[in-house]
Amino acid sequence: MTMQTHIKTFTPARPIWCAGCGDFAVQGVLEKSLHKMGIPPHKLMLLAGIGCSGTIQNNLPCYGYHALHGRVLPAAIGAKLANPDLTVIAAGGDGDGYAIGAGHLVHTFKSNPSIMYVVMNNCNYGLTKGQASPTSPIGYHDNPESGMDSILLGLSFPSATFIARGFSGNPEQLERLMEAALDHTESRKGFAFLEVLSPCVTYYDTHREWRARVYNVDEEEGYDPADRSMAFQRCLKLRDEGRIPIGRIFKGVHPSLESLTLNKAELPPAQQKVGHEGHREQYDKFINSYMG
């Protein structure tokens, strides 16, 4: 391998997104937050699902993994349990995460692993030319169903610990939310769920509409993100009024998955020596079990 090829291999690609796509703001804010929090590339694993947003892991210098459609969360949880010292970020879109991946989202709220999940919600399947997704409103491309609300879904889990929604048209607030989410997982407090309203300018340009409809709970006097029932009622009422709540919606306390499941007497799998004699014996035994 020549030096030139080597350098190219480790140079992040440029995003392939359409000019004006909301995902640019998400990536910019993510890069800034990682830099500000001093998380180095060799400590970061960024996994992404299928879709336009699912290419984000190509654009940052870090460990990257492109998951099967909808399967980004189990892969991210596996990475975290294998090496809890890694900062693990899962990313994707509403089509990937709320349709085929919805079951995994439910169980991630339930199990509370210390990973961050950023969902770039553009209310359509942008990569495959704009079909209706689980968050598309009634009437979009003749869609007869009302859109799901991931925030209300997350609030229904007693084990949820961090739920927030940002807007790519408000990068200052998004930065605060991203840092708070990263801080949550870095402190091993559990699952940080951050949905970002990220307009698809090519197939469903919601920039103006969302700017008029967002409602910032961070600025509401008396709003208490530690009060689950207040958060639920407020979000439900805002939805009925046609508003979209953004901000730090909920922050709770619950043991993280890794604190409940990892054996503290042993090093996590990725930190164990692979050449260890004991492992070789186990491996031989395993292989021999398949041989007559």
Binding site for ligand SF4 (CB under 6 A): 17-18, 21, 23, 52, 122, 126-127, 200-203
Residue among 128 and 282 whose Cβ is closer to ligand SF4 = 128
Nearer residue to ligand SF4 within complex by CB, 17 or 109: 17
25 Cβ partners below 8 Å, 6+ apart? Answer: 168, 169, 171, 174, 196, 198
**Pick from 83, 63, 67: which is nearest to 75 by CA?**
67
Which is closer to ligand SF4, CB of 67 or CB of 231? 67
Rounded to a whole number of angstroms, the minimum distance from the CB of residue 121 to ligand SF4 is 10
Least CB distance to ligand SF4 at residue 25 (A)? 11
- The encoded tokens of residue 91 equal 């990313």
For the bound state, the minimum distance from the C-beta of residue 91 to ligand SF4, rounded and expressed in Å, comes to 13
Taking the complex as a whole, how short is the minimal distance between the CB of residue 125 and ligand SF4, in angstroms?
A: 9
Question: Residue 95 CB, nearest distance to ligand SF4 (Å)?
Answer: 10
Closest to 241 in 3D by CA, of 213, 222, 267:
213
CB 218 within 8 A of CB 225: no
* Between 77 and 120, CB nearer to ligand SF4: 120
Q: How far is the CB of 15 from ligand SF4 (least distance, A)?
A: 8
Of 128 and 261, nearer to ligand SF4 (C-beta) is: 128
With H, G, I as helix, E, B as strand and everything else as coil, classify residue 267: coil
Residue 117 or 203: the one with the smaller Cβ distance to ligand SF4 is: 203
CA distance 232 to 28: 30
The tokens of 171 are what? 């990068």
How many residues are given for the chain? 292
Contacts made by residues 131-139, CB under 8 angstroms, sequence distance 24+: 133/93, 133/94, 133/95, 133/98, 133/99, 134/94, 134/95, 134/98, 134/99, 134/102, 135/94, 135/98, 136/204
Nearest distance in Å: CB 69, ligand SF4: 16
Nearer to ligand SF4, 16 or 138 (CB): 16
Residue recorded with tokens 């990937």: 96
